[in-house]
Amino acid sequence: MKVGYVLKMFPRLSETFVLNEILELEHQGLDVEIFSLNPPCDSRFHGLLARLKAPVNYLPRADSSQMWRALQSGRRHADIDPRRAGSAFLRSLDSKDQAASRFFFQAMHVASVVKERRIEHLHAHFATSATEVAMLAHMLSGVPFSFTAHAKDIYHVSTDPLLLSDALEQCAFAVTVTDYNVRCLAALTPLARRKVRRLYNGVRVDEMTPAPEADLPVPEIAAVGRLVEKKGFNHLVEACRKLSDAGFTFRCRIIGGGEEYNTLRCLIDCHGLEGDVVLEGAQPQEVVIEAMRRASVVVLPCIVGSDGNRDALPTVLLEAMALARSVVSTGLEGITEIVDHETTGLLVPQREPEALAAAIGRLLSDGSLRRRMGAAGREKAERQFNIRKSVSELADLFAISSTGWQAAHEVARCA
């Protein structure tokens, strides 16, 4: 089966879950082709990219006059049904996004490639521009599409409810990564109740062999994520100050890049934590995994941001559990579907550095508790978050969608 993936940007260092999903689809025998709306903006890439077989199409970005000249003169678009093109163009005019005309132009390119290479299904990640282009390409080509909704595309103040509603009406199915997301989408539109499937992001559990904690002179705390408000890393720095004041010796490694780097740097310096808390910048997945292997505790103090943005199913927690590391996070919906409090890790209220420090300190002080929770986390990761299982279910949904479309297409052709 041939599947086209429509993504806002590929590759992207912070979206290992997308790369892992595509690699596992290829491992399970699917033929994947990638359409990226934008070129990558980071020169650092995960080593896993070397495994990728899928070709990557970087879609053209042009101003309006260039677009229409290309559409008028380009033979490759001649097989697009004018009625479909008209409907898709009118849909693009309803978009709130100022780049709507570019999305329509990019969708024309996707639709042409879909027809040329007989791609049987399109799938997008995030219910934003990528889903917009996938939906327009579906309208142009007739090939079914689906999308995965994550978190920012559901909860952020900039979320486009019209796009979500239209995409759910047009798609063969939609996927989201937590049961909580399913309930929130169902509250937005009745269509979600029959269209949305919950599929947890999987991790490569089989390749993440648990290892004993490293014998380090100073225990390490690992924290991984983009340096943005919703990750709550400022509360982690405050918790580290409380741990230091309480006499704990540790080294906290915060891995990730983002807009709050300077704020966190100033906070670390202000508290005199320069030797205890280190900002290591964005790193490829191999470095992230090694940091978690070395760590005694993995911490992710997520919060609901002032803009409504939040995490849904943070991949780093899944990876830490697969590595049999004890975790500390907050009791946000979605995270409670990953971490079972007092069993696979500890959960504390968001925005409470004192409670966060107490939970980290408890684990740093009790090796047997860390090992027990790490083992329970590994067992849950094997049972519930193995990427082979989640991608197999996704591939089945692709196949059902494609089979139904082909049958309808054949009936229409014969008629």
CATH code, domain carrying 267: 3.40.50.2000
- Name the CA radius of gyration of the chain, rounded: 23
Question: What value, to the nearest 5°, has the Cα angle with vertex 6 and ends 5 and 12?
Answer: 95
Would you call the peptide bond into 217 cis, given omega within 30 degrees of 0 as the criterion? Answer: no
- In terms of domains, do 152 and 210 share one? no
What's the rounded Cα separation, in Å, for the pair 66 and 76?
A: 16
What's the rounded Cα separation, in Å, for the pair 342 and 201?
A: 23
User: What is the number of domains present in the chain?
Assistant: 2
DSSP 405: H
Contacts of 237 (CB under 8 A, 6+ apart): 264, 267, 268, 271, 273, 277
What backbone torsions phi and psi does residue 57 show, to the nearest 5 degrees? -100, 115
- In terms of domains, do 192 and 229 share one? no
What's the rounded Cα separation, in Å, for the pair 341 and 67?
A: 54
Q: Taking the CA of residue 8 as centre, how many other CA atoms within 13 Å lie in the half-sphere pointing to its CB?
A: 15
- In terms of domains, do 391 and 379 share one? no
- In terms of domains, do 131 and 235 share one? no
State the pLDDT at residue 410. 57
Q: Residue 228 corresponds to which amino acid?
A: V
- The alpha-helical segments, DSSP class H, found in 74-160 are 82-93, 100-117, 129-141, 152-155
CB 257 within 8 A of CB 281: yes
State the pLDDT at residue 69. 60
Residue of 157, 232, 149 whose CA lies nearest to 184: 149
Residue 124 to residues 20, 76, 204, 298, 345, Cα–Cα distance (Å): 15, 23, 21, 30, 32
| Sign, CA torsion 377/378/383/387 | positive
What's the rounded Cα separation, in Å, for the pair 145 and 159?
A: 20
- In terms of domains, do 259 and 144 share one? no
The size of the chain, in residues, is 415
What's the rounded Cα separation, in Å, for the pair 261 and 267?
A: 10
- Give the domain extent around 41: 2-202+387-414
- For the question of whether the overall pTM of this predicted structure is more than 0.75, the answer is yes
- In terms of domains, do 341 and 372 share one? yes
State the pLDDT at residue 248. 97
- The alpha-helical segments, DSSP class H, found in 302-386 are 315-322, 353-365, 367-384
Sequential pLDDT tens for the chain (415 residues): 999 999 999 999 889 999 999 999 999 999 999 999 999 987 667 788 999 999 999 998 766 566 666 555 544 555 677 777 777 777 776 666 667 778 888 998 999 999 999 999 999 999 999 999 999 999 999 999 999 999 999 999 888 888 899 999 999 999 999 999 999 999 888 888 899 999 999 999 999 999 888 889 999 999 999 999 999 999 999 999 999 999 999 999 999 999 999 999 999 999 999 999 999 999 999 999 999 999 999 999 999 999 999 999 999 999 999 999 999 999 999 999 999 999 999 999 999 999 999 999 999 999 999 999 999 999 999 999 999 999 999 999 999 998 877 666 555 555 5
State the pLDDT at residue 407. 66
CB 225 within 8 A of CB 233: yes
Residue where the block lists tokens 């879950």: 17
What's the rounded Cα separation, in Å, for the pair 9 and 136?
A: 18
- In terms of domains, do 78 and 27 share one? yes
State the pLDDT at residue 75. 46
- In terms of domains, do 277 and 225 share one? yes
- In terms of domains, do 348 and 215 share one? yes
Strands (E), 214-305: 220-224, 251-255, 277-281, 297-300
- In terms of domains, do 147 and 292 share one? no
* Residue 138 bridge partners (DSSP): none
- In terms of domains, do 310 and 252 share one? yes
- In terms of domains, do 365 and 407 share one? no
